[in-house]
């Protein structure tokens, strides 16, 4: 029996989850919504950039999505810069009895210890009222900082530290709002971008830190934030816009979960807009971009996850991976008990239902 699904938002991530919802025989697409008036009325196939006419025209509000009576909504609206609005959207869907999987709001990936208890209680109350389930995930925070490191940790006799990296050149990433408004690229090096205001890193990645701690059976006493920026040696253009000489062109930041005074769980990002910047910072093993997991223990591990795609570079492939994780979780989320669910709650994902025979020439 197919699962009735709807898509909310059709941006960088949303158009890719939509593409799978259209193509995957496990699902029946019943609605698509967008916040862009220019997209309202367009066929879902056009918005997903596939050569398929679905007969599902995009609508401009959640009420129309709810009226289509999906079993599950894939929610990919921007949550980084509008967390309150995204949380209210999710609550509305849950209260209507609709399960939700998605990429936002990110703090609901594992909110305990990160979000205010009163906000968590409101989301849980909405889920109980509708008998619905919520699951938020992605890459990092997401499977590269929960599923993969915890799977590796399960083979260790002793774990002293887990360290997860995103190491990427963002020159081809075209998300201007994330690049410039959130991360501060192109801004003066002595400014403080939104992402690095005190507490924001801990809010964004505290979910991953605390989920890994829960998986290890320890408690984080403190989260320590650190960031540093490298200026552009000259002016140049990237996919998202212009980087002027002397403005932020590369970033390194880390979020560390301290356990009894020891940096037990660390998430570190090195983000460049040009490959030659700060060669002394950590680099991906095969160029472009990678997610690295380092476990210090017995045994110890260094594992580089290098995403690639037939349709784009490492930045595109990473978004595809996040979208696949989201969409493939739908059957398990529907089967789960109502409430906020995390990677620790759901069964081990295996890629069930994703196999396709290679296309023959």
Residue 32 lies in a domain: yes
User: CB neighbours (10 Å) of residue 62?
Assistant: 21
Q: Quote the pLDDT of residue 160.
A: 98
Say if residue 41 is in the same domain as residue 94: yes
Residue 84 lies in a domain: yes
Residue 310 lies in a domain: yes
Q: Sort 300 into a burial class: Cβ within 10 Å, 0-12 / 13-18 / 19+.
A: middle
Residue 358 lies in a domain: no
Six token digits for residue 54: 């679905």
Overall average pLDDT of the 208-221 stretch:
97
Residue 86 lies in a domain: yes
Domain with 75 in it: what CATH number? Answer: 3.40.50.720
DSSP string, 173-201: ---HIIIIIIS-TTSBTTS--GGGSTTHH
In percent, the amount of the chain with pLDDT more than 90 equals: 94
Question: Per residue in 163-180, is it b (16+ CB within 10 Å) or e — as a string?
Answer: bbbbbbbbbbbebeebbb
Say if residue 23 is in the same domain as residue 104: yes
Overall average pLDDT of the 279-294 stretch:
91
Residue 165 lies in a domain: yes
Distance between alpha carbon 113 and the CA centroid of its chain, in Å?
A: 19
pLDDT higher at 357 or 213: 213
Is pLDDT above 80 for 56?
Answer: yes
Q: Quote the pLDDT of residue 99.
A: 98
pLDDT digits (tens, 9 = 90+) for 122-176: 999 999 999 999 999 999 999 999 999 999 999 999 999 999 999 999 999 998 9
Is pLDDT above 80 for 46?
Answer: yes
Distance between alpha carbon 32 and the CA centroid of its chain, in Å?
A: 20
Q: Quote the pLDDT of residue 80.
A: 79
Domain with 228 in it: what CATH number? Answer: 3.30.360
Distance, CA of 50 to CA of 48 (rounded, Å): 6
Query: How many helices (H) and strands (E) in the chain?
Result: 10, 14
Is pLDDT above 80 for 103?
Answer: yes
Distance, CA of 27 to CA of 333 (rounded, Å): 14
Say if residue 120 is in the same domain as residue 208: no
Say if residue 133 is in the same domain as residue 149: no
Overall average pLDDT of the 83-95 stretch:
96
Say if residue 334 is in the same domain as residue 291: no
Say if residue 76 is in the same domain as residue 90: yes
Sign of CA dihedral 5, 8, 11, 12: negative
Query: Whole-angstrom distance between the N-terminal and C-terminal Cα of the chain?
Result: 32
Say if residue 122 is in the same domain as residue 160: no
Say if residue 229 is in the same domain as residue 186: yes
In percent, the amount of the chain with pLDDT more than 70 equals: 99
Decide if 124 contacts 340 (C-beta within 8 A).
yes
Say if residue 161 is in the same domain as residue 259: yes
Q: Quote the pLDDT of residue 226.
A: 98
Six token digits for residue 1: 């029996």
Residues of the domain holding 14: 3-137+329-341
Overall average pLDDT of the 344-356 stretch:
94
pLDDT digits (tens, 9 = 90+) for 172-193: 999 899 999 999 999 999 999 9
Say if residue 150 is in the same domain as residue 285: yes
Q: Quote the pLDDT of residue 246.
A: 98
Q: Quote the pLDDT of residue 361.
A: 56
Residue 147 lies in a domain: yes
Say if residue 269 is in the same domain as residue 170: yes
Q: Quote the pLDDT of residue 286.
A: 79
Overall average pLDDT of the 240-258 stretch:
98
Residue 352 lies in a domain: no
Number of domains into which the chain is organized = 2
Q: Quote the pLDDT of residue 358.
A: 86
Banded model confidence at residue 360, pLDDT cuts 50, 70, 90: low
Banded model confidence at residue 359, pLDDT cuts 50, 70, 90: confident
Those residues whose C-beta lies under 8 Å from the C-beta of residue 321, and which sit 6 or more positions away, are: 139, 143, 307
Say if residue 176 is in the same domain as residue 225: yes
Six token digits for residue 124: 């849980």
Beta bridge partners of 208: none
């Amino acid at each position: 029996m197919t699962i009735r699904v709807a898509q909310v938002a059709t941006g960088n991530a949303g158009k890719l989850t939509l593409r799978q919802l259209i193509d995957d025989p496990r699902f029946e697409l019943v609605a698509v919504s967008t916040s862009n008036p220019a997209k309202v009325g367009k066929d879902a196939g056009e918005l997903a950039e596939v050569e398929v006419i679905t007969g599902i025209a995009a609508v401009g509000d959640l009420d129309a999505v709810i009226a289509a009576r999906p079993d599950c909504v894939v929610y990919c609206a921007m949550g980084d810069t509008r967390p309150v609005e995204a949380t209210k959207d999710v609550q509305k869907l849950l209260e209507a009895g609709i399960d939700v999987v998605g990429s936002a709001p990110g703090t609901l990936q594992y909110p305990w210890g990160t979000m205010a208890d009163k906000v968590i209680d409101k989301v849980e109350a909405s889920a109980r009222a509708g008998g619905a389930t919520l699951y938020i995930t992605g890459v990092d925070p997401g499977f590269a900082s929960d599923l993969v490191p915890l799977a590796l940790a399960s083979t260790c006799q002793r774990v002293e530290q887990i360290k997860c990296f995103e190491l990427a050149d963002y020159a081809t990433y075209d998300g201007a709002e994330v690049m410039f408004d959130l991360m501060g690229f192109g801004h003066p090096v002595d400014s403080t971008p939104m992402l690095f205001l005190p507490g924001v890193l801990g809010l964004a990645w505290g979910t991953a830190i605390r989920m890994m701690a829960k998986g290890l059976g320890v408690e984080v006493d403190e989260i320590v934030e650190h960031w540093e920026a490298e200026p552009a040696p000259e002016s140049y253009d990237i996919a998202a816009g212009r980087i002027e000489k002397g403005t932020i062109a590369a970033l390194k930041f880390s979020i560390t979960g301290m356990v009894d005074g020891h940096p037990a769980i660390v998430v570190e990002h090195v983000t460049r807009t040009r490959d030659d910047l700060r060669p002394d910072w950590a680099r991906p093993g095969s160029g472009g971009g990678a997610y690295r997991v380092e476990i210090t223990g017995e045994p110890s591990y260094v594992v580089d996850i290098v995403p690639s795609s037939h349709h784009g570079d490492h930045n595109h492939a990473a978004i595809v991976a996040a979208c696949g994780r989201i969409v493939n979780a739908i059957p398990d989320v529907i089967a789960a008990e109502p409430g906020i669910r995390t990677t620790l709650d759901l069964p081990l994902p295996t890629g069930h239902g994703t196999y396709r025979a290679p296309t023959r020439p």
